[in-house]
């Protein structure tokens, strides 16, 4: 039989993978299982295989992993979550991929999709949301955007990696139902709907088994159930906690990074192999994904570095501004006799003070916040963005709050360890005392104070009633200052909605019921809240959040009407079409995120009162009406049944609810479900 050549790109992918496996010696195969340094695999010079290179990047190509290059710093993950925009998620993915390729990398270590279980998680700013539906929807789009450019996405951190405290030694203890309903959907959808090429196995263990050696996660779920064809890479140094090289090989871990001080170091790996602790076919099984991805990304073909043309970079910078502007959440905008303070009206505000410690602060710096730190070619701070826009509005900048017609006060956190940063969790949800005092002083001097928050997750705000307007701007990336000005001056009508609940106090959050649930006891973190994460917990216990999941105001108003269901009885796996009319009832163009929740009115297991199962972002001119449509399928009605190990929708009454937030439901309708 004619020998196939893995270099022949006209061959079918699986033939090429087989040909390469046949061409590699066992020694070469073993050498490909661990990195040669932080960012690349070992080469195989005999076959002309160069190192496969990766870069950090849930929010841009990271400085430290791209030969110290400067790249577009996009708003952080939680901001993309707050945009609720599939289109922006997709465009972001494509831009990220182009810059990754430009830096000569074949894979980007993102998106980061762990669920925001505790608001104290130091990495909340990197993740999208507390809700599995929103999480999976955005993840799929980011992955598709990245991979359509021939760059591999690496979705992380698999799985149930929800805090930084003791992240290398913890075990997340949770039910199969919580895993399936809350923590896995984004990973599952990334594989099933977007064919993601790589998955990063987390530092933590899940129910006592280290994620890097979990056959249940890596073999059974990822490959067996979902059909994953890519490779699993360990989080950096995560393999150290595993039992042995063979346990990881057998579970299907393809690549250990960074390959230093590791179980996959050539010696221990070789020893395990020659002692017969794993077979060559098991080695092939765990390695084949990496080889496949080398081919899918064109790594084995000519020309791996594709420079980004300057025009495209400008587009990416503009995209960073659009994402930031669409992610900004108007939390509060009190309407008094003379109207609301926002958007800033030059007829009422001729002198503006821009104050606070975050007005001039840069947030996009190397390693700032940890591995996601991106260093952009420039950064527009809030003050700079506002100054650029003030001239056109005919406003004067003053430094004294008492002298101004209005004050914009920038406060928040930073990417310092212990705040919004990797490795440590936050200690408190409160702002630093000095900033609390600053709010109080400023409001005393000038009641027209708009507080703009620069931070990465929920904060408590005992001061919320004392100020007329509050804006959540997250970490808005390199163009953040301009995006903030866009919203404050009304050039962009805010359309961001909270992707996480803001509690009134920490103890109101589901993960903060005891030390067991956070930070955990004896290296175990007990997910006692089970599926009641985020708003599911607030709703179940009737707790009033400070700002609910899905909340975000606009400078216009939207009316909801005409909710229709395609049937009032749903049988078996029939789908249900849902439609309604949304109108812009105000006098400004704007966008509304229409949220669809499902409620199972009677069930043999306890279910959350509301579960998000759809959302549409609709842009409307004043007076314009649009129809929004959704399709609900079996899985949207089902819970994960541990007895039958399957998704199960039970007979009975269900409700569909449409709203502007989880606590602002505008329309609802019921239907009956009947199985088979
Ligand atoms: C982080 C990952 C990151 C990796 C490489 C780890 O500490 O958890 O998210 O991709 O380092 O920098």
Please identify, by atom number, the ligand 1 atom nearest to the C-alpha of residue 62: 12
Residue-wise pLDDT for 110-123, tens only, equals: 999 999 999 999 99
Query: Do the beta carbons of residue 311 and residue 304 sit within 8 Å?
Result: no
**What is the per-residue pLDDT for 267?**
78
Compute, in angstroms, the gap from residue 386 CA to the centroid of ligand 1.
35
| Identified catalytic residue from 235, 405, 420, 425 | 235
Cβ–ligand 1 distance for 246 under 6 Å, the answer no
> Average pLDDT, stretch 316-341?
96
The reply to whether 558-674 shares the fold of 327-541 is no
Asked if CATH classification 1.10.3720.10 holds for the domain at 558-674, the reply, yes or no, is no
Residue 584 has pLDDT above 60, yes or no: yes
Longest CA–CA separation in the chain, Å: 88
Closest Cα to residue 138, out of 151, 152, 153? 153
Other Cβ atoms less than 10 A from the Cβ of 397: the count is: 14
* SS3 assignment, position 10: coil
Confidence of residue 310 (pLDDT cuts 50, 70, 90): confident
> Average pLDDT, stretch 342-362?
97
Compute, in angstroms, the gap from residue 27 CA to the centroid of ligand 1.
28
> Average pLDDT, stretch 421-436?
98
**What is the per-residue pLDDT for 305?**
66
CB half-sphere exposure, 150, CA atoms < 13 A: 17
For atom 7 of ligand 1, the residue with the nearest CA is 236
Cβ–ligand 1 distance for 235 under 6 Å, the answer yes
Residue-wise pLDDT for 8-60, tens only, equals: 989 999 999 999 999 999 999 999 999 999 999 999 999 999 999 999 989 99
Cβ–ligand 1 distance for 164 under 6 Å, the answer no
Read off the tokens for 673.
């479900």
Cβ–ligand 1 distance for 127 under 6 Å, the answer no
Cβ–ligand 1 distance for 55 under 6 Å, the answer no
- Report the mean per-residue pLDDT for the chain: 96
Q: Which of 244-248, 302-306, 530-534, 547-551 has the lowest mean pLDDT?
A: 302-306
**What is the per-residue pLDDT for 1?**
56
**What is the per-residue pLDDT for 9?**
87
327-541: CATH topology is Rossmann fold (3.40.50)
Confidence of residue 268 (pLDDT cuts 50, 70, 90): confident
Residue 224 has pLDDT above 90, yes or no: yes
Compute, in angstroms, the gap from residue 426 CA to the centroid of ligand 1.
18
Cα(246)–Cα(269) distance, rounded to whole angstroms? 8
Residue 266 has pLDDT above 80, yes or no: no
Residue-wise pLDDT for 493-507, tens only, equals: 999 999 999 999 999
Residue 650 has pLDDT above 60, yes or no: yes
Domain locations along the chain: 327-541, 558-674
Beta strand residue intervals within 281-403, DSSP E:
329-333, 335-336, 339-340, 351-355, 396-398
> Average pLDDT, stretch 318-329?
98
Residue-wise pLDDT for 519-575, tens only, equals: 999 899 999 999 999 999 999 999 999 999 999 999 999 999 999 999 999 999 999
**What is the per-residue pLDDT for 337?**
84
Please identify, by atom number, the ligand 1 atom nearest to the C-alpha of residue 65: 12
For atom 8 of ligand 1, the residue with the nearest CA is 235
Q: Give percent of the chain above pLDDT 90.
A: 94
Cβ–ligand 1 distance for 511 under 6 Å, the answer no
Residue-wise pLDDT for 438-476, tens only, equals: 999 999 999 999 999 999 999 999 999 999 999 999 999
Task: Using CA atoms of 326, 332, 336, 338 in order, give the dihedral in degrees to the nearest 10.
Answer: -20
What element of type H or E holds 412?
strand 406-412
**What is the per-residue pLDDT for 3?**
80
Residue to mutate, 55, 109, 373, ligand 1, most ligand atoms under 8 Å from C-beta: 109
Closest Cα to residue 199, out of 236, 227, 238, 158? 158
**What is the per-residue pLDDT for 85?**
98
Query: Do the beta carbons of residue 131 and residue 535 sit within 8 Å?
Result: yes
The question of whether 462 is a catalytic residue gets the answer: no
> Average pLDDT, stretch 576-594?
98
**What is the per-residue pLDDT for 261?**
61
Confidence of residue 351 (pLDDT cuts 50, 70, 90): very high
**What is the per-residue pLDDT for 269?**
87
> Average pLDDT, stretch 574-579?
98
Compute, in angstroms, the gap from residue 390 CA to the centroid of ligand 1.
40
Give how far Cα 165 sits from Cα of 336, 421, 521, Å: 45, 12, 11
**What is the per-residue pLDDT for 235?**
97
Compute, in angstroms, the gap from residue 126 CA to the centroid of ligand 1.
12
């Amino acid at each position: 039989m004619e020998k196939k050549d893995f270099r022949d790109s006209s061959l079918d992918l699986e033939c090429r993978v087989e040909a390469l496996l046949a061409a590699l010696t066992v020694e070469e195969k073993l050498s490909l299982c661990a990195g040669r340094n932080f960012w690349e695999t070992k080469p195989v010079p005999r076959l002309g295989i160069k190192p496969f290179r990766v870069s950090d990047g849930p929010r841009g190509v990271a400085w430290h992993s791209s030969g110290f290059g400067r790249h577009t710093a996009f708003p952080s993950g939680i901001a993309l979550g707050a945009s609720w925009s599939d289109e922006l998620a997709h465009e972001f993915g494509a831009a990220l991929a182009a810059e990754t390729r430009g830096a000569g990398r074949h894979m980007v270590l993102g998106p980061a999709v762990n669920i925001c279980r505790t608001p104290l998680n130091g990495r909340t700013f990197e993740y999208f949301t507390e809700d599995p539906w929103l999480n999976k929807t955005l993840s799929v789009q980011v992955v598709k955007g990245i991979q359509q450019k021939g760059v591999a996405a690496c979705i992380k951190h698999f799985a149930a990696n929800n805090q930084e405290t003791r992240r290398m030694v913890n075990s997340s203890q949770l039910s199969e139902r919580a895993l399936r309903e809350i923590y896995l959907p984004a990973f599952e959808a990334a594989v099933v709907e977007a064919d993601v090429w790589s998955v990063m196995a987390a530092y933590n263990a899940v129910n006592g088994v280290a994620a890097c050696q979990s056959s249940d996660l890596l073999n059974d779920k990822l490959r067996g159930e979902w059909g994953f064809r890519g490779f699993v890479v360990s989080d950096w140094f995560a393999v150290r906690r595993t039992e042995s090289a063979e346990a990881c090989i057998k579970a299907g871990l393809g690549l250990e990074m960074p390959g230093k001080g590791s179980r996959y170091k050539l010696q221990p790996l070789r020893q395990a192999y020659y002692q017969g602790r794993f077979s060559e076919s098991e080695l092939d099984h765990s390695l084949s994904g990496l080889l496949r991805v080398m081919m899918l990304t064109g790594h084995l073909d000519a020309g791996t570095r594709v420079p980004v043309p300057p025009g495209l970079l400008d587009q990416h910078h503009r995209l960073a501004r659009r994402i930031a502007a669409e992610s900004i959440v108007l939390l509060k905008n009190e309407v008094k006799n003379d109207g609301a303070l926002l958007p800033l009206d030059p007829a009422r505000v001729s002198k503006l003070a821009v104050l606070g410690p975050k007005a001039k602060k840069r947030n996009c710096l190397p390693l700032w916040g940890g591995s996601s730190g991106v260093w952009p070619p420039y950064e527009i701070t809030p003050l700079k963005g506002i100054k650029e826009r003030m001239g056109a509005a005919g406003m004067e900048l003053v430094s004294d709050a008492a002298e101004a017609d209005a004050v914009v006060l920038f406060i928040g956190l930073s990417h310092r360890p212990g705040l919004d940063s990797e490795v440590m969790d936050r200690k408190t949800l409160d702002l630093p005392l000095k900033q609390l005092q600053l709010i109080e002083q400023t409001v005393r001097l000038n009641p027209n104070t708009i507080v703009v928050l620069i931070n990465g997750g929920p904060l408590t705000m005992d001061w919320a009633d004392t100020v007329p307007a509050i804006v959540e701007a997250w970490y808005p990336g390199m163009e953040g200052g301009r995006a903030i000005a866009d919203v404050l001056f009304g050039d962009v009508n805010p359309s961001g909605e909270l992707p996480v609940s803001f509690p009134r106090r920490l103890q109101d959050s589901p993960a903060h019921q005891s030390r067991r649930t956070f930070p955990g006891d004896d290296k175990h973190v007990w997910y006692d809240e089970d599926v009641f994460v985020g708003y599911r917990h607030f709703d179940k216990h009737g707790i009033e959040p400070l700002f609910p999941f899905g909340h975000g105001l606009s400078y216009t108003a939207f009316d909801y009407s005409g909710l229709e269901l395609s049937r009032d009885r749903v049988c078996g796996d029939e789908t249900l079409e849902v439609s309604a009319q949304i109108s812009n009832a105000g006098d400004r163009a704007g966008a509304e995120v229409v949220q669809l929740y499902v409620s199972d009115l009677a069930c043999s297991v306890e279910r959350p009162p509301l579960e998000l199962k759809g959302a549409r972002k609709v842009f409307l001119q004043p007076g314009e009406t649009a129809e929004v449509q959704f399709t609900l399928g079996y899985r949207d009605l089902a819970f994960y049944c541990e007895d039958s190990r399957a998704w199960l929708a039970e007979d009975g009454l269900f409700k569909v609810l449409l709203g502007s937030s989880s606590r602002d439901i505008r329309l609802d309708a019921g239907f009956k479900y009947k199985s088979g």
